[in-house]
Structure 1
Amino acid sequence: MATVVGEGSAASAARRAQIIDATIETVAELGFAQTTFARIAVRGGLSSTRLISYHFQGKAELMQAVVDDIYRSINEFLLGRVDVDPASRPIVRPAGRPDLPSPGSAPAELRAYITGVVAYIGAHRSRMRAIRSISAAVYDEPGNPAVGQADPASPVMSHLQDMLRRGQADGSFRTFDPLVVAAMVQQPLEGLPLLLQNRPDLDLERYAAELATAVDLATRRPDRG
C-alpha cells in the first residue's frame, strides 16, 4: 500500500473512506470493468483523480481496500448483533474487545452466523454487488483478494470449520468433514446477492430460516432429535 504523508490523520482516513464508498457504489452500478478513477471521482464528488492516486497506487490496490473494508464491516455487523442474538459472533474478534459470553451451543452459533450474514447482505446490497463484481472480474488473477476468501485457511472458512469442530467435540454435530460442510454453508450466502438482483423482494428472513434449518438437519447427530 502506498505510504503518504499524514496517512494516519483523521482527514486522510476520512478521505480514504470517501473514496472506498464511492468505489463501492460505482462498481455496484457499473461493474468492475467500467469502473475508472474518473468515474469514482465523479461519484465521490472529488475534484480530481489525483486525490485517489494520492491514497491508492492503482485500481488493484483500491479494490483490495474495498474488499477489506467490506469484510471488516461484515465482522462489525455480526459483533453488533450480539444484543439481538447472544449467539452471534464476529468472524475475527477485534483487538482490544472484551471476551463475549458463551454463545450457548455450536448449533446456536452456526444459526446466528447464517441469519446474521443474510441480514447484512439484505442491508448492504450495493456492497455485496460490488464484491461479487470484483470477484467475477478478477477471479483467476493471482493475489485476487476475493479468491482468498474461498481458501480453507481464510478467516471465513476457518471460522466456520472451528465452529463445526467444536460442535463435533461436544456431541452436537455428527461426524463429517468440516471443510465440506463449511463450503456447503458459505456458498448459499455468497450466491444470495446475485439472487437478490433478480428477486429484490425475496423474503430474507425466510431464506435465512430455511438455510439454517437445512444446515441443522445436515449436521445434527441422528439421536439428537
Structure 2
Amino acid sequence: MRSEIRKSPSFIEAARRAQIIAAAIETVAEVGYAQASLGRIARHAGISKSVISYHFADKDDLLQQVVRQVFDDSWAYLEPLLRRETTARGRLGVWITAELSYMAAHRAQFMAMVRIVENHRNAVGELSFADSPEESITELVKILRQGQRDGEFRGFAPRPIAVTVFQAITGALDEWARDPRIDLAAYAAELVTAFDLATRRDT
C-alpha cells in the first residue's frame, strides 16, 4: 500500500508535465514563439503560472522539453518502421515517407518545433538547437553506408547525400508549413523515387 502511495505523485506529476508541454505546443503553434509567454501557456492549459514554475525551471526549460518531446515522439513512430525493413533501400524510403507522414498527422507539433528551433537562443545568444539536424543526418549516413556495404547503392560520399535527403525533407515540410493544402504523401513518393535513382547501383 505504501509503495502505491509513493508512486502516485510521480504519475500525477508526469501527467501534469505532459499537459503543460501539450499546452505549450498548441500555444506556440497558434500565436508564434514571441507571443507564447508562460502566462499565455498557463491560461491555455487552464492552470496558474505557478504550476508551470513548479514543474519546469523556467520558459527555457519548458521549450527545451517541447522540442525534445517532438523529436522523441517522431522517433518512436519512425524507429519500429525502420526495424521492419531489411534493406537499406527500404529503410531510406521509409525514412522519407515516415518523416513526412508523421508531421502531416501532427501539424501543431511541427509548427511549434520549427518556431522554437528557429528562434530560441541560449545565454550567449546562440541558437539553442543549431545542432539538432545532426542526429538525423548521422542515422541517414548509417543507412547509406549499409546500402554500399550490401551492394545496393553505388559508390558516393555518404554524408553529402544524407544532408541532401535531410534538406529535401525539410524543404517539403517548409512548403507544407506555408500551404497545408500540399499533399505530403505525394511529395514523399517523388522524393523516394528521386533518391532511389540517385543512390542505386548501376546494373
| TM-score (structure 2 length as normaliser) | 0.89
Check conservation: 1:63, 1:134, Cα contact below 8 A.
Answer: yes
Selected match of 2:112 from 130, 140, 144: 130
2:133 alignment partner, SS class: coil
Which residue is equivalent to 1:57?
Answer: 57
Selected match of 2:168 from 178, 188, 191: 188
Matches of 2:31 and 2:23 in 1, distance apart?
12
* Structure 1 segments unaligned to the other structure (5+ residues): 1-5, 83-87, 90-99
Check conservation: 1:129, 1:193, Cα contact below 8 A.
Answer: no
Matches of 2:198 and 2:73 in 1, distance apart?
29
CA positional deviation for 1:143: 6.8
Query: Per-residue CA shift, 1:154-203, capped at 9, x if unaligned?
Result: 2x222111111000111111111111111111112223333123321112
Structure 1 runs (4+) greater than 6 angstroms displaced: none
Give aligned pairs, total: 196
Matches of 2:172 and 2:113 in 1, distance apart?
12
Structure 2 counterparts to residues 72-111 of structure 1, below 5 A: 72-79=72-79, 88-89=81-82, 100=83, 103-111=85-93
Give the aligned CA root-mean-square deviation in angstroms: 2.1
Matches of 2:61 and 2:8 in 1, distance apart?
15
- Structure with more of its chain in helix, by fraction: 2
Structure 2 counterparts to residues 127-206 of structure 1, below 5 A: 127-138=109-120, 141-142=125-126, 144=128, 146-151=129-134, 154=135, 156-206=136-186
Percent identity over the alignment is: 39
Quick one: which amino acid aligns to residue 42 of structure 1? R
CA positional deviation for 1:116: 0.6
CA positional deviation for 1:138: 2.7
Check conservation: 1:160, 1:182, Cα contact below 8 A.
Answer: yes
* Structure 2 segments unaligned to the other structure (5+ residues): 1-6
| TM-score (structure 1 length as normaliser) | 0.81
Matches of 1:139 and 1:117 in 2, distance apart?
26
Check conservation: 1:28, 1:130, Cα contact below 8 A.
Answer: yes
